[in-house]
Chains A and B, each alone.
Chain A
């Protein structure tokens, strides 16, 4: 079956612009996660969704970052007024339910802020 998909695969933007990153989880997966991978910080948790609710937003680096999930499926991560330090690979993962085992990761979106 289809895995987690993310779009775009690459995004280059200018400092100060807003960007939207999209994640399509595996069908039927209720739990969805966003992580960020950068050279300096490694892999960091950003936010978790159970259904359309986000019980844990503790990893969002600043109020420029927000995310939503609609219909218990697609999620969008929005970064406003991008900064160079936002450059990273943004990974989305999903699993059947929060308490189940394996998270399946998407291919990621590589964001470059010039």
Chain B
């Protein structure tokens, strides 16, 4: 059974600081997704990482994927209050070499950025 674990689950940061959220998963997968969820809202796609060594950046967020270590990271640079949200990683289970998009999610990391 595929398991996806994030840490930390709660993250309180000061504005301007840097931090990293980690996402470990238990079985082979070459696709990893990061989503953002604001309170009471749905999931917003942030990054899709499709291969080992993939790195994507958008604004103050940068995501990377190491498929050999089964690890993805979401790095936050110089945090601002607007980044406060819950961040989920999700892994697309590959079956017989085929992916059909069944996502297994991590528990989510609740990020709060303080002035």
Contacts and interface: CB of A to CB of B under 8 A. Distances in A.
Interface of A: 31, 33, 35, 42-45, 48, 50, 55-56, 91, 93, 95, 98-99, 101-108
A28 to B, nearest CB: 16
Given A102-B33, A108-B42, A56 B48 contact: no
Given A42-B108, A43-B88, A101-B50, A95 B101 contact: yes
Interface of B: 31, 33, 35, 41-45, 48, 50, 88, 90, 98-108
Contact of B45 (A33, A50, A104, A108): A104
10 contacts: A35-B103, A43-B108, A45-B102, A45-B103, A45-B104, A48-B102, A56-B100, A103-B33, A105-B42, A105-B43
A56 to B, nearest CB: 6
Contacts of B35: 105
A73 B46 CA distance: 25
A91 B41 CA distance: 11
B71 to A, nearest CB: 20
A107 B48 contact: no
